[in-house]
Amino acid sequence: MLTVVSFLVTLGILITVHEYGHYQVARWCGVKVLKFSIGFGKPLFAKKLGNDQTEYVLAALPLGGYVKMLDEREAPVEEHEVSRAFNRQPVWKRIAIVSAGPAANLILAVLLYWVIFMSGVTGVKPIIGDIPQDSPAAQASIKSGELITSVNNTAVASWQDVRWVLVQQKLKSNHVEIEASINGQSYIHELSLDSITDSDFESDFLTKLGLTTYQPDLQPKIGDITAGSAAEKAGMKTGDLVLSVNDQGIGHWENFVNVIRQHPSQRLDVKLVRDNKTINLFVTPDAIDDNGKQIGRVGAAYQVDPAVIDQFLVDVKYSPLTALSKAADKTWETSIFSLKMLGSMLTGDVSWRGLSGPVTIASYAGQSAHMGIKAFIGFLALVSISLGVLNLLPVPVLDGGHLLYYMIEIFKGSPVSDKAMEMGQRVGFALLGLLMACAFYNDINRLITG
């Protein structure tokens, strides 16, 4: 239910902001607006307001919207209103009106990121964990326990920052410079990205590079227990401290997890401490399929010690002016990155599997909403940028296609012919249909393969 609601909220906000951009600039330019519609199809709500009696509509299919303006190419216009027709406006006004939709989405992204940066961004410090042998990180002489401070001279404060900068650098070069520190000493490492392929962007490519998150030595203390799980059936309770499993000493939570994973469907003798008393329980881990391999799981989580966890988290807040500057930079960088990714898809350097349709967007909307308001705001900003950038592509039927027509008009000295525009519309619909088909295919493929 939360997924559906968050998806509708996402669409509602982004579409309304986009269309409001067109609507408001059209009014500023003196163009008469006939209809402002959120959604397509059968109207669920319609009301006419204002001196121009603009019709405001909420329609049944929430996958888009439109602003209908007075235009002689669509219907006869009375003589006294000809000056207010869209097609009679100077080309610079038409450019402003068409550009306003994508611009509104980008402005919204800046405002959303501004709120996030002012309220504080919490992330996991980029401290290196265990490094697999022969991994790119091992070959770069990166050591466990090092704190990454910059990537190619770009300062990073969290693993999210590291991932973002590495994704950007991969599009430019197959080598990056990692600056890290440990015990007051700084080191420079040359990390190779040759092992990363375009399909890795959809998974945790940091692990493939050997950049794992540092795991502190956590007490094997039981936290939340899933209802109906093997742990609950065995009688485990929150707060239990595990001492051993089958007489094998358990010093850390990771030891306990590994032992459980290695014994699916096998009865285990667990010794633990509860209320200062040592007791024994028998638990049989459920067998779970993990990429074709059977592993054990008991359904018990680690009892979080806030004091321990806080050591590995970083919370960065900015002043309003600094936050606004960072929000603008973030929006610009994400927009450029989106264009580069689209370009790489066209050249075949990046897989088209990265395209997402409404099903995937709905899934991400639900996941971000579950994670909290900040995560959802960040998701909104990202999708708003994607919508703005997509609409600026020079494809007929999109805003960018109309802008292309107006650029041609400026150089040509006269509007593009109706025949050329009609042909462009057909090509645009074909390209858009192909794009949507690819996105829907990816959605279906993700649902089937997980």
Annotated active-site positions, please? 19
Determine phi and psi for 69, rounding to 5 degrees.
Answer: -115, 160
Long-range contacts of range 68-75, CB-CB < 8 Å, 24 or more positions apart?
Answer: 68/33, 68/34, 68/35, 68/36, 68/37, 69/26, 69/31, 69/32, 69/33, 69/34, 69/97, 70/31, 70/32, 70/33, 70/34, 73/418
Q: Which helix (H) or strand (E) holds 176?
A: strand 175-182
Q: Answer for the pair 42, 75: CB distance below 8 angstroms, yes or no.
A: no
CA–CA separation, 393 and 127 (whole Å): 40
Q: For residues 331-368, b (16+ Cβ closer than 10 Å) or e, as one string?
A: beebbebbeebbebbeeeebbebbbbbbbbbbbbbbeb
The DSSP string of 221-289 is: BEEEE-TTSHHHHHT--TT-EEEEETTEE--SHHHHHHHHHT-TT--EEEEEEETTEEEEEEE-PEEEE
DSSP characters over 290-301: ETTEEEEE--EE
Task: Report d(CA 433, CA 397) in Å as an integer.
Answer: 11
Which residues, in sequence order, are bridge partners of residue 300?
A: 225
Q: What DSSP character marks residue 188?
A: E
Q: And the tokens for 334?
A: 């994400």
The phi and psi torsions of 296 (rounded to 5 degrees) equal: -95, 150
Contact partners, residue 115, CB within 8 Å, separation at least 6: 377
Paired with 182 in beta bridges are 185
CA 427 to CA 429: how far, in whole Å? 6
Number of residues that this document lists for the chain: 450
* Rg from Cα positions in the chain: 28
